[in-house]
Structure 1
């Protein structure tokens, strides 16, 4: 098997997650999290659409992690985000973290908004 080392340049990948927390670049963060431009910050959850709209023009795809299970976001929120030019992919938080890391390693302009598992 051949293993390739992945570099993330200035961005920080999601190292782990668990009940109520995320670990990003070795730092522990409690509660919902927004990660964009290599900077993780607390997020107030789905009601905090302003924080997500601020990403318009900065990222191409926003991964929304809905916790331990797959769920949908409100149609109105999806419409608002897509209307602002954000691609929105909704999935469970574990899947969102993994997908975010893969695209981040490719140098893509991505962000993660995730609810803890």
Structure 2
């Protein structure tokens, strides 16, 4: 799915997400990534269920308002312990499918909010 034109081009923006790839500022990523307003960080996790609090150490230092977890084509809940650990650090966290996470990221970024997203590409539906 291609996302409509972005008027404010500062920072990083998700331009498109489709089966197996996410395009951010013209660069195509075929694996999971973490995206902030200024940086794309490739992830070494196969699924969002593998995430631990250590995977969020940089985000915890930077204190985003919210962390979005895009779990691929289907919504998968992250471990409740991880949610509690992030909320205890005053960081909101929401998991959803990647399409919803990409749209939410774009809306929050367009409002100037400090949001980070961990995104797994969509997979082909069987």
Q: Which moved more, 1:12-21 or 1:60-69?
A: 12-21
For this pair of structures, how many residues does the alignment match? 113
Aligned 1:2-41 pairs, distance under 5 A: 6-9=7-10, 11-41=11-41
Structure 2: distance between partners of 1:26 and 1:99: 19
Structure 1: distance between partners of 2:18 and 2:55: 23
As a proportion of its length, which structure holds more strand? 1
| Structure 1: gaps of 5 or more residues | none
As a proportion of its length, which structure holds more helix? 2
Identify the residue that residue 91 of structure 1 maps to in structure 2: 96
> Where in structure 1 do 4 or more consecutive aligned residues deviate above 4 Å?
none
SS in 2 for 1:34: strand
Please report the RMSD computed on the Cα atoms of aligned residues, expressed in angstroms. 1.8
Asked if 1 retains the 8 angstrom alpha-carbon contact of 2:12 and 2:36, the reply is no
SS in 2 for 1:79: helix
Shift of 1:85: 2.1
Structure 2: distance between partners of 1:68 and 1:103: 21
Instruction: Report the TM-score when normalising by structure 1.
Output: 0.85
Deviations 1:80-105 (A, max 9, x none): 22222211011110010011011101
